[in-house]
């Protein structure tokens, strides 16, 4: 199933511009909405009722299909995205032709209206139905949320530096690392969450599991966690009273 972003009903009081970043399939799903009508930006006719961007990721590239639906008014000049070579397809044709385009980080385009169906243009004044282009991604890496785990020792503390976001996707790697450290003999383990920008209950569950495992082996597990999202979720759940929590690594080492 392809991720699909749909914006329902454009602002009837004026023109809204939509611009997407095509750094990755994921970021392309996040439109930046601006109220300026500027050349080179996609203008959506006030009477366009919906605008859909469908992202079709594949191994080495992704395809963005832009369709707008609604009654059309005047058209705007084509955007200055001259690096793009796009294929234009009549609205009656459901097939898609992929086109290559230069590797640029932001795509901007304008639409011209055409009654009834898709309203994107390939060249200025050239009507088209659905506009499809393919961007080759920079490499096989996908800009999904990553988690960095580094281990170091300070005195008798084993410090696990965690950087990134901890959720259902990344929590297993944190769990595996904690298990490895605890089973490997780390008796005083400090999990440094200073570099964690987000953590949900999946991360909490892993930390609780680590605490239990450590205690079963006669060890300690503490957290270095300043004010921020991880501390908030610890507080909401009351787990800030279960773990020894320090403001930072230095505070823990002084304890």
Partner 1 sequence: MNGGAFSLDVPAEPLNLGTARTFASRVAAHFGCADDTVLDLKLAVSEACTGWIAVAQGDERVVRVFVRPDIDHLRVEVTGSGSIGAAAPGLEGGGPTRLELIRSLFPDAEVGPSDDGGVAVRFSVPTRG
Determine the Cα angle at 122 with ends 119 and 127, to 5°: 45
Contact region with partner 1 (CB under 8 A), list: 73-81, 132-140, 161-169, 181-189: 161-169
Q: Are 70 and 44 spatial neighbours (Cβ–Cβ below 8 Å)?
A: no
Strand, coil or helix: what is 246? strand
Kindly tell me which residue out of 19, 29, 220, 240 binds partner 1, with binding defined by CB under 8 A: 29
Using the minimum distance from each CB to partner 1, give the nearer residue, 89 or 160: 160
Task: Show the binding pattern over residues 165-184: x = contacts partner 1 (CB under 8 A), - = does not.
Answer: x-xxx---------------
Interface of this chain with partner 1, residues 190 to 249, rule: CB under 8 A: 198, 200-202, 204-206, 208-209, 229, 232-233, 236-239
Show the tokens assigned to 153: 């020792």
Nearer to partner 1, 63 or 89 (CB): 63
DSSP-assigned beta bridge partners for residue 192: 161, 224
**Residue 186 structure tokens:** 């780390």
Whole-angstrom Cα distance, residue 198 to residue 155? 29
Asked if 9 interacts with partner 1 (CB under 8 A), we say yes
Provide the CA 19 distance to its chain's centre, in angstroms: 16
Residues that bind partner 1 (CB under 8 A): 1, 3-12, 16, 26-27, 29-30, 32-33, 142, 144-145, 165, 167-169, 198, 200-202, 204-206, 208-209, 229, 232-233, 236-239
């Amino acid at each position: 199933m392809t991720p699909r972003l749909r914006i329902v009903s454009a602002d009837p009081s004026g023109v809204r511009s939509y611009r997407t970043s095509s750094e990755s399939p994921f970021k392309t799903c996040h439109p930046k909405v601006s109220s300026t009508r500027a050349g080179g930006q996609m203008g959506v006719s006030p009477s366009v009722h919906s605008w859909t961007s469908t992202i079709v990721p594949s191994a080495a590239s992704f395809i963005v299909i832009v369709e707008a639906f609604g009654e059309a008014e005047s058209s705007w000049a084509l955007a200055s995205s001259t690096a793009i070579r796009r294929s234009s397809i009549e609205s009656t044709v459901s097939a898609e032709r992929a086109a290559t385009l230069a590797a640029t980080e932001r795509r901007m385009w304008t639409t011209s209206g055409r009654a009834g169906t898709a309203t994107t243009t390939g060249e200025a004044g050239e009507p088209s139905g659905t506009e499809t282009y393919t961007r080759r991604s920079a490499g096989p890496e996908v800009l999904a949320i990553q988690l960095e785990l580094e281990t170091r020792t300070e005195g008798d503390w084993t410090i696990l530096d965690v950087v990134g976001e901890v959720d259902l996707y990344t929590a297993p790697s944190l769990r595996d690392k904690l298990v490895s450290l605890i089973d490997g003999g780390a008796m005083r383990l400090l999990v440094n969450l200073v570099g964690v920008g987000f953590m949900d209950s999946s991360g909490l569950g892993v930390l609780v599991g680590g605490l239990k495992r450590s205690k079963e082996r006669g060890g300690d597990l503490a957290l270095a966690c300043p004010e921020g999202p991880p501390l908030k979720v610890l507080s909401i759940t009351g787990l800030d009273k279960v773990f020894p929590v320090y403001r930072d690594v230095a505070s823990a080492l002084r304890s």
